Amino acid sequence: MKKKLLFVVNVDWFFISHRLILAEEALKNGFEVFVACKNTGRANEITDKGVKFMDLGFSRSGTNPIKELYTIVKFYKAYKKIKPDIVHHITLKPVIYGTLISRLLKLKGVVNAVSGLGYNFTSDRKGFVQNLMIRLMRIGFKRDNLTIIFQNDDDKKYFYDCNIISNFNTVVKIKGSGVDLSKYPKSQLPSFDLIKILFPSRMLLDKGLKELRISSDILKEKYKDKMQIILCGLADEDNKAGVSSSYLENWQDGKYVKWIGYQKDMVKVYQDSHIVVLPSYREGMPKSLIEACAIGRAIITTDSIGCKECVDEGINGLKVPVYSSKELAIAIETLIINKNLITLMGENSRKKAENEFDINDVILKHLSIYKNFS
């Protein structure tokens, strides 16, 4: 009889971009695979691959006690219905609630993917909600047959420092969700007539959007005819750190700054850029930077948790302090005036992707975790 593997994640589009290939490989290896998440209209892209889908909608960042209790009940009903042998939680709310329910129902195996600690764990947001989340994880994690996957050493250290991880747990480090190096091939740079700087992310303040806007204003007078900032991603207004569409419309002028929204074919978007920038406050391991490495692009990011692992300073990109608009502007200018450096860093990015971010390695490590559950 096939073992049932259940993925629990916030929304369908995140699962598609970050874990669908893993679900496909699990199917090939004899698992019956389920996904429970919010259907934003893309569930068919999951079921078309042979994965069974359950619509499990919940607020990604909500803290209303009544609504959260209702969410926990929905988790309980979903797990009771599917009866998974292994449940793989992705993102923090599924990790917290799902682990508690898994312990209550005595599910055989639990995988918790800590893909960044999110909104409530950035430096200036310590308080009741964060403390409650930590306490709930301590309770849920106190069981055997639980594997925790960290994408960076800082998050792992934080969990140990907070006494979340118990002696029963297995701890594994996997650098992000990986990238298919054949689907994201090393690509030649476009013409340098106009240097294109790509910001590939949901439009969130926590991704450094405000700092990028200030930097663009600093550089505009001098470089408005020499560079273009391309904003590629959704205006995620459901997120507490999200900005409105009007914020983006007021910023862009269609020439110096251009917002192109969500793009399904990201390969072409990366290929049409020279530099990829992500001045984020905190990440697990940003997929956008992993993909940028694979395509062969110079990167500018922050020296923050998760981001710093994607850049070897001066080799495949530049790192600036978090919240630093001025330093970000300097880093952008440094590359704009040195086309040879853009080219060299792009070549080194591809090498880094080949050595550290190959999707095949990520798949093998995950399948090994699933198969190790008795």
Rounded mean pLDDT, 210-232? 97
Task: For residue range 179-198, list pLDDT tens digits in order.
Answer: 999 999 999 999 999 999 99
CA distance 8 to 100: 13
Give the chain's mean pLDDT.
92
What is each CA distance from 215 to 108, 219, 220, 328, in whole angstroms?
50, 6, 8, 6
What is the full DSSP assignment across 48-110? TTT-EEEE----SS---HHHHHHHHHHHHHHHHHH--SEEEEESHHHHHHHHHHHHHTT-SEE
pLDDT, position 243: 82
Q: Is the pLDDT of residue 210 over 60?
A: yes
CA distance 204 to 210: 9
Q: Is the pLDDT of residue 244 over 90?
A: no
CA distance 246 to 295: 31
pLDDT, position 152: 87
Q: How confident is the model at residue 245 (pLDDT cuts 50, 70, 90)?
A: confident
pLDDT, position 246: 87
Task: For residue range 92-144, list pLDDT tens digits in order.
Answer: 899 999 999 999 999 999 999 987 665 545 555 456 778 888 999 999 999 99
pLDDT, position 122: 53
Rounded mean pLDDT, 51-57? 95
Tokens 């050595």 -> residue: 355
What is each CA distance from 280 to 189, 203, 252, 341, in whole angstroms?
25, 11, 20, 23
pLDDT, position 237: 66
pTM for this entry: 0.87
pLDDT, position 282: 87
Q: Is the pLDDT of residue 48 over 70?
A: yes
pLDDT, position 60: 64
Which domains can be identified in the chain, with CATH numbers?
A: 4-178+358-372 (3.40.50.2000), 195-356 (3.40.50.2000)
- In the sheet that holds 195-200, the strands lie side by side as 257-259, 227-232, 195-200, 275-278, 298-302, 317-320
What is the full DSSP assignment across 129-171? HHHHHHHHHHHHT-SSSEEEEESSHHHHHHHHHTT-S-TT-EE
| DSSP type of residue 1 | -
What residues contact residue 44 under an 8 Å CB cut-off, 6+ apart?
none
Q: Is the pLDDT of residue 39 over 80?
A: yes
Rounded mean pLDDT, 206-220? 96
pLDDT, position 120: 47
| DSSP type of residue 204 | B
